[in-house]
């Protein structure tokens, strides 16, 4: 009986720890130096959040980053089946306090009525990057292309269409919910940085797994990939060795 009680207690504490990791409200400062970032931009500060799923964004996160970033990127999965649109609207209202919002679709977003979700995003002045781009221009006239593709996992990504929309010269950032987009282009597309989520860092990460990349920076010959563990969870409200996270990403010109 004593052994059983110890086992139950250990399992309870382990579950409690995993629940705590799943509900962290951490903002990670991430500096990324890129040699081709136009010098006139000096620094570009982005608040990046992905895989919100069922969570309500904490006021503490908004207060921490407000006034420190140029814009917000939601890297997909703002919701999932069973999430109310009122909850999504509440999260969008909070994020809008930080700055202009850009959004790409994730696989779980399509579990909702995506026509209604699209209308909600537009009503909240969110720029939806669905196989298209937005352009930011410095005071010196240099351009930063923010390219977004629809979700790779549901086969709706059309990077070719997005690239047709930004044929002029400029620094290119690609936002894709699924990091596997890196296998769909080469150095010819001149994409300097990819921002992704989707993997949840493995969520409950018992072993190393190449498919479920842990949050971090991955270097390729032709681009830099940034992956977030994401903010929410799916299936189970637990995480292990892949805590919830959001990011302030500062892009700097490398010397």
The mean pLDDT value for 83-89 works out to 98
Angle ∠(118,98,161) on CA atoms, nearest 5: 40
Domain positions in the chain are 2-253
Output the pLDDT for position 1: 67
φ, ψ for residue 84, nearest 5 deg: -80, 150
Task: Kindly state the percentage of the chain with pLDDT values over 90.
Answer: 83
At 24-38, the pLDDT tens digits run 999 999 999 998 999
Domain covering 2-253, topology: Purple Acid Phosphatase; chain A, domain 2 (3.60.21)
139: Cα separation from own chain's centroid: 27
At 45-63, the pLDDT tens digits run 999 999 999 999 999 999 9
d(CA 84, CA 56): 11
Output the pLDDT for position 112: 96
Output the pLDDT for position 72: 98
Task: Specify the DSSP element, H or E, that contains 3.
Answer: helix 2-22
pLDDT-derived band at 169 (thresholds 50, 70, 90) equals confident
The neighbouring-strand residues paired with 217 are 226
d(CA 70, CA 42): 12
The neighbouring-strand residues paired with 102 are 73, 127
At 197-234, the pLDDT tens digits run 999 999 998 877 677 899 999 999 999 999 999 999 99
Q: Is the pLDDT of residue 255 over 70?
A: no
d(CA 134, CA 123): 18
d(CA 76, CA 198): 8
The neighbouring-strand residues paired with 71 are 46
d(CA 138, CA 141): 5
d(CA 137, CA 89): 29
Q: Which residues lie below 8 Å from residue 205, measured CB to CB, with a gap of 6+?
A: 212, 214, 240, 241, 242
Specify the 3-state DSSP secondary structure of 176.
coil
């Amino acid at each position: 009986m004593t052994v059983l009680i110890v086992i139950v207690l250990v399992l309870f504490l382990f579950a409690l720890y995993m629940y705590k990791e799943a509900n962290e409200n951490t903002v990670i400062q991430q500096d990324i130096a890129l040699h081709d970032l136009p010098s006139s931009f000096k620094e570009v500060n982005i608040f990046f959040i992905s895989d919100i799923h069922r969570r309500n964004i904490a006021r503490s996160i908004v207060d921490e980053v407000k006034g420190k970033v140029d814009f917000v990127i939601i890297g997909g999965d703002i919701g999932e089946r069973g999430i109310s649109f009122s909850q999504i609207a509440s999260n969008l209202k909070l994020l809008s306090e930080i700055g202009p919002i850009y959004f790409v679709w994730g696989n779980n977003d399509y579990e909702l009525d995506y026509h209604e979700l699209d209308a909600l995003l537009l009503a909240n002045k969110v720029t939806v990057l669905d196989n298209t781009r937005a352009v930011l221009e410095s005071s010196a006239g240099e351009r930063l292309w923010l390219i977004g593709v629809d979700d790779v996992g549901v086969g709706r990504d059309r990077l070719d269409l997005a690239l047709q929309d930004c044929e002029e010269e400029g620094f290119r950032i690609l936002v894709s919910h699924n990091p596997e987009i890196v296998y769909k282009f080469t150095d010819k597309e001149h994409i300097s940085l990819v921002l992704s989520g989707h993997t949840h860092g493995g969520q409950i990460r018992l072993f190393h797994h190449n498919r479920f990349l842990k949050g971090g920076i991955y270097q390729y010959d032709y681009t830099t990939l940034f992956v977030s563990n994401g903010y929410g969870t799916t299936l189970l409200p637990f995480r292990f060795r892949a805590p919830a996270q959001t990011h302030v990403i500062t892009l700097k010109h490398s010397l």
